[in-house]
Structures are given as structure tokens and as C-alpha cells.
Amino acid sequence: MLSATLSFPTFVASSSSLSSFRSRNFPKIQASLSNYPLASKIMVRNLPFSTTEDLLQREFSAFGEIAEVKLVKDESMKRSKGYAFIQFTTQDDAFLAIETMDRRMYNGRTIYIDIAKPGKFDFQQHPRTSGPPEKLHAPEEVASNEVADCWY
């Protein structure tokens, strides 16, 4: 049986580059129903299928505190689909990771990093449906003189 040893390069950020990046002023966009800023979740694409959540945690923790790493897996094959979501605790850490790691080589592949778009479950609401507007309750004296509108 053949065995292979994989070596994963690690990113080493200098303390001067991290401190100069963190001193920048970024807009603070706060999600109303989330514990973390809206722009602190990133999506990493084109990952090798052998990547695990632990490897991503170790690699991206150089940019700041990570709240969650979610590697999307194929249910039938039980392996990575090639992309992951990483939630940082601050926007500055997420921007630093994007600026440093976007379009870089990671385990033999060029990875692409973007700010993750909010999904339908990010705000714990059901999607709004379209239809007639809600009926406004008017005072009785005004409502008796008006004709109700019809929806076509």
C-alpha cells in the first residue's frame, strides 16, 4: 500500500504588517440580529478536497480570533466541496485575511476569498412573500365613506 506525506505551508504574518493593518479605520457595519459584524464572515473558494476545518483554523488564526470555521462537505462522498466559511470576531481581521490570502497558493491551489453574502438563515427570518399590502385600520367615520380597493 502506498502512503504519502503531505506538507502544508503556513502563512507567517509579521507583527508590523498586522499592526499597521489593524490601525486602519474601516466602517463598522453591525448586523442587527447577529453577535458579530456583518462583514466579518468570509468565503474561501477553490480549496483542495483534502482540506479540513482544523487546517483552516490553524492557517487563518494568524489574522485574528476566529469564531467559527464551516467547511462545506458533500454528504454522499464525505469530503470537502472545495469551499468554506470562516467567521472572524471583527471586521478588521476578516479584511486582513482577504487582503493577505486572496489569490494566493494554498496547498497547490490558488484560493479566492470574498466577504460572505448573508443567507436566508443568517437573520433567522423566513423570506417575505409578495401580495396585497396589509390592511390599515382607519377610523370608522372615514372608513364608512370610502370604497375599498380591489386587487387584480
Tell me, yes or no, whether 142 lies in a domain.
Answer: no
User: Would you state the pLDDT for residue 113?
Assistant: 96
Does residue 20 register a pLDDT over 90? no
CA–CA separation, 134 vs 119, rounded Å?
Answer: 26
User: Would you state the pLDDT for residue 115?
Assistant: 93
Does residue 32 register a pLDDT over 70? no
User: Would you state the pLDDT for residue 9?
Assistant: 47
- Is residue 86 within 8 A of residue 97, CB to CB? The reply is yes
Tell me, yes or no, whether 82 lies in a domain.
Answer: yes
User: Would you state the pLDDT for residue 151?
Assistant: 61
Tell me, yes or no, whether 128 lies in a domain.
Answer: no
User: Would you state the pLDDT for residue 147?
Assistant: 62
pLDDT digits (tens, 9 = 90+) for 100-146: 999 999 999 999 999 998 766 655 554 454 555 556 565 555 555 66
Identify the H or E element spanning 41: strand 41-45
Tell me, yes or no, whether 138 lies in a domain.
Answer: no
User: Would you state the pLDDT for residue 8?
Assistant: 42
Closest Cα to residue 60, out of 105, 107, 10? 10
- Total of domains in the chain: 1
CATH number of residue 54's parent domain: 3.30.70.330
| pTM reported for the whole predicted model | 0.58
Tell me, yes or no, whether 132 lies in a domain.
Answer: no
Q: How far is residue 20 CA from its own chain's centroid?
A: 24
Residue with the three cell numbers 472545495: 82
Write out the three cell numbers for 1.
Answer: 500500500
DSSP state letters, 63-123: GS-EEEEEEEEETTTTEEEEEEEEEESSHHHHHHHHHHHTTEEETTEEEEEEEPPP-TTTT
Tell me, yes or no, whether 151 lies in a domain.
Answer: no
> Looking at this protein, which amino acid is placed at residue 6?
L
Tell me, yes or no, whether 20 lies in a domain.
Answer: no
Tell me, yes or no, whether 79 lies in a domain.
Answer: yes
For residue 110, give its domain range: 33-118
> To the nearest whole number, what is the mean pLDDT of the chain?
74
